[in-house]
Amino acid sequence: MKSAVVQLPGLNRDRDMIAALTKISGTPPITVWQTETEIPDVDLVVIPGGFSYGDYLRCGAIAARMPVMQAIREKAEQGVKVIGVCNGFQILVESGLLPGALMRNASLKFVCREVKLEVANATTAFTQTYEKGQIIRCPVAHHDGNYFADPETLKTIEDKGQVVFRYAEGTNPNGSINDIAGIVNEKGNVLGMMPHPENLIESAHGGTDGRGLFASALNVIAA
């Protein structure tokens, strides 16, 4: 399975993402700069975390208007899997590839800690290695992860099983509506999540709970 990692000025979690994808798939991902108008033939495109364009205007707002996003939109329409983590999630909602918006944390504080996630939908292309209702550990590090959607959109994504991860056991770090930590698009091939599964994939990280997400997305599920 071939993958690509998108790079934009201000993103700083790209190295972690490249390391995780390399370790899990055995092949380093291709890197794609923001001005590219085409993405090579890959099965998975990842937008990593960070602070693209210094979070100016709104988190992810400027990045979402860069040429590479049109290329990602085309890939997503073709059914290629797309993952946006943290700032990547913010970029995906700003670009309209995912519904809703990510607002300032209710506490107004940057949160950097570990949370618990409940796998709310284990049937997506990203959660094949998990069980529905399973609780996994995952680190978070963000200032604007407070997911919001209007009541109609919220009902739609809940009814259609588009909520994939929820903060569990009282660990909601940002005030997200319905404890939403990660969602997919209606087609199920675009995932956005605030937590960082790429930072919990090997024993050196103190756990491997995030590994299954990439194993599922990359179709390298161990027997």
Partner 1 sequence: MIKARVTVTLKNGVLDPQGKAIEGALGSLGFEGVGQVRQGKVFDLEIDSSDKARAEADLKDMCEKLLANTVIENYTISIA
Q: For residues 144 and 198, which CB has a smaller minimum distance to partner 1 in the complex?
A: 144
Taking alpha carbons only, the member of 49, 113, 111 closest to residue 85 is 49
Q: Which stretch binds partner 1 (CB under 8 A): 9-17, 55-63, 81-89, 187-195?
A: 55-63
Cβ atoms of 2 and 41 closer than 8 Å:
yes
CA-to-CA distance for 76 and 86, rounded, in angstroms?
Answer: 19
User: Which strands make up the sheet holding 3-7, listed edge to edge?
Assistant: 30-33, 3-7, 44-47, 81-85, 190-193, 180-184, 163-168, 111-119, 135-142
* 137 near partner 1, rule: CB under 8 A: no
* 61 near partner 1, rule: CB under 8 A: yes
Q: Which stretch binds partner 1 (CB under 8 A): 32-40, 56-64, 113-121, 165-173?
A: 56-64
Site string for partner 1, 7-46 (x = CB under 8 A): ----------------------------------------
- Taking CB under 8 A as the criterion, the residue among 69, 82, 97, 149 binding partner 1 is 149
> For residue 20, what are its two tokens?
């995780």
CA-to-CA distance for 64 and 78, rounded, in angstroms?
Answer: 19
CA-to-CA distance for 197 and 199, rounded, in angstroms?
Answer: 5
Q: Which stretch binds partner 1 (CB under 8 A): 57-65, 113-121, 189-197, 207-215?
A: 57-65
The enclosing H or E element of 3 equals: strand 3-7
The residues in 73-132 that bind partner 1, with binding defined as CB under 8 A, are: 93-94, 99-101, 103-108
- Taking CB under 8 A as the criterion, the residue among 9, 22, 30, 65 binding partner 1 is 65
How far apart are CB 142 and partner 1 at their closest, in Å?
Answer: 14
Catalytic amino acids?
Answer: 86, 196, 198
